Structure formats: structure tokens, C-alpha cells
Amino acid sequence: MSAPDWVIVKRIREVSIPQEKFQIDMEEWPRIALERINKFVHKKEWYPGEGVTSANYEREIYEEFAGHGLLRLVAAEDPRVQGWLVEQEGDLFDWRFRKAKTTEIKLEVAKYLFGEKNVIAPRDIWSRFDINQPPFKEFKMKARRTGSMVVHFTCVPKLISSRSALLINGWVIALIDDFASSLKAKFEKLLRQRIGESKESLDRIIRSSVSEPITELKKELSKVIHSMSITSGKIEWGGYKLFTRQSVFPQCMMDLYNEVMSQGHISHEERLQLGLFLKNIGMPVEEQLLFWYEKAVDNIGMTYEQFATGPPGYQIRYMYGLEGGRTDYSAHKCASIQDRGFCTFLHQSVATIDENLRKEFKNPSELQENLLRDLSRNVVDKKPGEACALMFQLRYKWRSYPVKHPINYLRQAAKALKIIKKEEPEVKEVPKSD
């Protein structure tokens, strides 16, 4: 078995359909590329070839690589397109990996990206390690063995400090899905490398008979991507100013916001998480500059002009696509927030969460008590999306599906509190308890 064809950084010779199928077709490829852009803009997640017959699979994979390949050519000469494409393809890869149907598929993806020698399969853990040793017992290795994977530490530097991973003799042991963030980072790095290689392909194409169509297409796709990336992922809620209404913030963002307000300091990555969230719920760049200047203690002694024109201001403008590669970044999804360790329901203890909730919900009703117990159970079981949904239900008395994005949480909270108009029945009201 080899890595599935949806790992779009594979070379054409590694794909399971004949290489001769991948000849540049300027009559068809632009349409395929535009369809891929449209899927990204509308946040559609898909597997190529899923649910189709073997006869149609070849066509689907052809379109997957044709659409992506043409976007690569455009990205090779336009850093703004490159930043946008890497972010979109990275998110799609992350979703595909997490949703992969079998452990074997995930294992092959890991071997492809990390290298065969750097990955030990679940079935080989018994022979390589004595899982009866104390560290493995604390990790509950016997129960987790079939769902775990072992990766050389050089491939996953950010995972080593995770409380859900073991480091033994230079090998990192964790549940397979815990490696998703590191795999995504490797995928994005490899994609940038492939885009660089595409620059050489583009140089050859420009000397060929299709140089004029490619040049014109590059201009048109750049315009489409720029216009769509600027408007996608935003909340067009006009004067609601939800960035001033902390009552609708999900708990992870509320924690970061409160820490800034009380302590004046959070880490660089936490600033990025909160900053992108505030940006995507409508905070203008000028207000975000002022927010950090007034609240962050490391700005003491600076004039506003020094702050705004110096490194802190640059980082904020970078988030808005006004500096650097000029990519208009979106707020991170829950999966990314969880992987980076900023999810309340993963990095805080059950006791701390329960204590804080009982301060908020004094003398809980029977319904609330049941919800509090269910929430704690989901924290113990490491189901943060379900725990966040129960938090939503406690606060707004509306049921919610497991939360997958902080923006969606905020949107539903604003509707539940009637701050914005409820446009469609995405959540159901909970019957009031006697």
C-alpha cells in the first residue's frame, strides 16, 4: 500500500493512474482550477474518487491533480497566491487525514511525509518497546497500542512537549491523530518546495507554444484568488461589533482575552490565535493596533507611532494581509487550536473547569447539573468539541453540534442572544426546565 492519491504533494509518477493522462490541456484545466478555487472559497471538504466507480476514479484523480497543478503554476510567480494556496491545501489535507477511514491509510500518509525509517507502525510497537515499563503504563499503552504510532523526534519537535506524547530513546509515541498537526506542517513545507519546482516547469512552458494562454490564465486566476480570499471567511455583520461583546466568545478566546486584560501578556502564538479571531469577527486593523498598544505590558514606554511602525505593528498588519506575502489569513479552526494547546477543554484540568463553571452557574438546576457532569465527562474523554457544545448549551439554552470552529460558536451565540438575526435553524432550542 502507498500513500493515497489525495496527498496532493505526490509526484505524478507516484499517482496510481497513467502519467500520460496529465498533459496540460488549456481548454479544460482552467475550468478545473476555477472549480477547485470555488470549493476552497466555500470551505468545501472532499475526497477525490469517494463513492465513485473505478471507471470514474481515474477522471477524479486527473481533475484533482490538474486543478491543483495549474494553481501551483500561478503560485510559483505570485507570493500572495502561494500563501493562500498553501493555507487552503493545508487545511484540506488536515481534514482528509483526520477523516481517513483506516489506521493503515494514516500510517501510509505518515510514512510518505516523514519517511519510512522515521515511522514505526502500531503492530511493531510490541517488538520495539517494553510497554510494561512505568512510562507506558501511565500512557495506558496496552489500551492505546492499536491506535498509536511512533515517530522519530526530529520529525515532530512541537509534539515532544505535549502531555499526550511519550519521548523514549529518541522516539515520540502518541495517538495517530495527535500527529496530525505535525503532518500538516510537513505537508505545507513540501508543498512550498513543489511550488518552487513548478517555477522551473513554468519557465519551460513559457518557451513553448502555450506560453500566451498560460500567461493570461495566470493573471486571471491571480485576480480571482485575490478577490475571493479577501472576502472569504469574514463575517459581514456591519455595526454589530461582536469583537466588543465577550459574552459570545467561545471559552478558548475568552480565556486569552481575559488574560490580556488582566495580565497584559500572552505568548506570541496565543496573540496570533486571538488576533486572527478578533480580525475575523470584524475588528478593523486600526482598532486591533490600538487594542494591543493599550493592553500589552511589553509596549510600555513606546509611543503609539513606535508601536504601529515597529515589529508589533508589522505582525498585526501581517495578519490582515497588509505585509509580507500579503495573505489574508483566516481564524484557526478548532482542530488547529487544539493541536497548538490553546483549547480550554484540553489544557485545563477537569477540576479547574468545573470550579470555574460552578462560579458562573450557582445553584444549578437539575438540567444544568446534568450538563455540567456531561461536560466534565467529555473533558476526561478528550472530546473538546462535545464539551464546548455543552458549554454553549449551558450559557445560551440552545443545543449545538460539536464545535469545530470558534467563529461558528460566536455566530450561533449571537443568534441565540438575538444580537443578530437568526437566519436559519442551525441549532435547536432546549426546553426550559421546571
Cell digits for 112?
Answer: 510518505
Say whether both 151 and 284 belong to one domain.
no
Cell digits for 327?
Answer: 495573505
Instruction: Please identify which residue in the block is written with the cell numbers 462535545.
Output: 386
DSSP letter (8 states) at residue 429: B
The pLDDT value given to residue 87: 83
Residue 394 has pLDDT above 80, yes or no: yes
pLDDT tens per residue across span 260-316 = 999 888 888 899 999 999 998 989 899 999 999 999 887 778 899 999 999 889 999
Does 191 map to a domain?
no
Say whether both 365 and 300 belong to one domain.
yes
Does 190 map to a domain?
no
Ranges assigned E (strand) in 70-165: 119-120, 148-152
Say whether both 30 and 158 belong to one domain.
yes
- Determine the Cα–Cα distance for residues 356 and 256; give it in Å rounded to an integer: 15
Say whether both 426 and 306 belong to one domain.
yes
pLDDT tens per residue across span 323-361 = 876 777 788 889 888 877 789 998 889 999 999 999 999
Does 417 map to a domain?
yes
Say whether both 266 and 378 belong to one domain.
yes
- Determine the Cα–Cα distance for residues 235 and 248; give it in Å rounded to an integer: 14
Residue 62 has pLDDT above 70, yes or no: yes
Does 343 map to a domain?
yes
- Average pLDDT taken over every residue of the chain: 83
Does 128 map to a domain?
yes
Q: Is the dihedral of CA 6, 9, 10, 13 positive or negative?
A: positive
The pLDDT value given to residue 427: 37
Cell digits for 200?
Answer: 522551473
Residues in the chain: 434
Does 214 map to a domain?
no
State the total domains in the chain.
2
pLDDT tens per residue across span 405-430 = 999 899 899 989 988 865 443 434 44
Which of residues 145, 167, 182 is at a domain's end?
A: 182
Helix (H, G, I), strand (E, B) or coil at 148: strand
Lowest mean pLDDT among 178-192, 334-348, 384-398: 334-348
Note down the domain range covering 406.
Answer: 235-434
Say whether both 291 and 395 belong to one domain.
yes
Q: The domain that contains 118 carries what CATH number? A: 1.20.930.80
Q: What share of the chain is helix, strand, coil (3-state, %, to 5)?
A: 65, 5, 35
Confidence of residue 22 (pLDDT cuts 50, 70, 90): confident
Which of residues 162, 182, 202 is at a domain's end?
A: 182
Say whether both 277 and 385 belong to one domain.
yes
Say whether both 137 and 257 belong to one domain.
no
The pLDDT value given to residue 322: 85
Say whether both 178 and 240 belong to one domain.
no
Confidence of residue 386 (pLDDT cuts 50, 70, 90): very high
**What is the percent of the chain with per-residue pLDDT over 90, rounded to a whole number?**
37
Does 279 map to a domain?
yes
Query: Given phi > 0 = left and psi -120 to 50 = alpha, else beta, which region is 264?
Result: left
Q: How far is CA 98 from CA 5, 94, 110, 308, 336, in A?
A: 16, 6, 12, 39, 12
CB atoms within 10 A of CB 79: 14
Which of residues 120, 149, 182 is at a domain's end?
A: 182
Side by side, the strands of the sheet bearing 166-168 are: 119-120, 148-152, 171-175, 166-168
**Is the pLDDT higher at 222 or at 179?**
179
